[in-house]
Amino acid sequence: MTTTIARPNQTQDFGSLLRGWRDRRKYSQLNLALEAGVSQRHLSFLESGRAQPSRGMILQLADALDIPLRDRNALLHVAGFAPAFQQRSLDNEDMAAVKKALEMTLAHHEPYPAIVMNSHWGILMQNQAAMNFIGLLGDSETLWRQVDPSGSRNAMRLIFHEQGMQPYIQNWDQVATFLLSRMQKEVAADPTHEALAALFDELCEHPNLPADWRNQTWNNMPPPILTMEIAFYETRLNMFSMLSSFGTALDITAATLCVETFFPADDETTEFFNRLSQ
């Protein structure tokens, strides 16, 4: 069943867009006014169209609402201002330091897998350990054609596809529930991200989802962190991951990059990856 999440209409005026973001963030006018350091009366006038925002006011309110950089540009545009944030490719010379930092992160995490993803889980970079690990599923090119014919090499499609990792994940119900719940929050936080929303709707139609994934419960006290339990024939692995991002990003691409580093949860998994790297 497709999950419907309200998404803003890009043809709206500034006041309507601002009010929509405020509603999504569950802020009253007073709460937002206090957070942004503006008067509630002026905020009311901005939303009603009785007052026009300055460029600085738009950015001030967008920061208070934690609006993604891409959508801050949209707010500026409807108010008649030029965009404030660029969206460069990773190969752009201005992004050299960013790309170098990613390469260093991936290299330093060997012999354990690490990947760099965009905002809708497409894998952009990976270290040798990640390539070796994915290679356990079969020939890489053939595998990706099967699990993601779009060519985006999407990590979620790799995990959820029956020709990908799904059959090997022993605690599938827990992992699928956790990942879908996280994606649902991401879609709610960035409702104009059409590719992310489409991916979430696609995964919600997956035939092997736990029936009650929307109502996650733990019979006992949950562990400190959810591990992914994987069985490759006679080999059993226990892994968990950590997500990291750039804390001072002022470029749309840099702001949406995510590094996922995987760690062994037991000695056997540690030994496995040490052997795999040799």
Per DSSP, the residues of 131-187 read HHHHHTTS-HHHHHHHH-TTSS-BHHHHHHSTTTTGGGBTTHHHHHHHHHHHHHHHH
Q: For residue 207, name the pLDDT band (cuts at 50, 70, 90).
A: confident
pTM higher than 0.85: yes
Nearest to 172 by CA among 231, 242, 128: 231
Helix (H, G, I), strand (E, B) or coil at 51: coil
Tell me how crowded residue 262 is: count the other CB atoms within 10 A of its CB: 21
Amino acid 217: pLDDT: 63
Spatial distance between the Cα atoms of 53 and 45, rounded to a whole number of angstroms: 9
Instruction: Examine the pLDDT at 11 and tell me if it is beyond 60.
Output: no
The answer to whether the CB of 265 falls within 8 A of the CB of 238 is yes
The CA dihedral of 27, 30, 32, 35, to the nearest 10 degrees, is -120
Amino acid 216: pLDDT: 65
Mean pLDDT computed over 260-267: 98
The answer to whether the CB of 238 falls within 8 A of the CB of 266 is yes
- 209 backbone dihedrals φ, ψ, rounded to 5°: -80, 145
Q: For residue 212, name the pLDDT band (cuts at 50, 70, 90).
A: confident
- In percent, how much of the chain has pLDDT > 70? 94
Instruction: Examine the pLDDT at 5 and tell me if it is beyond 50.
Output: no
Mean pLDDT computed over 165-179: 94
Domains of the chain and any CATH numbers? 14-78 (1.10.260.40), 93-276 (3.30.450.180)
Tokens of 119: 């905002």
Amino acid 12: pLDDT: 81
Amino acid 1: pLDDT: 41
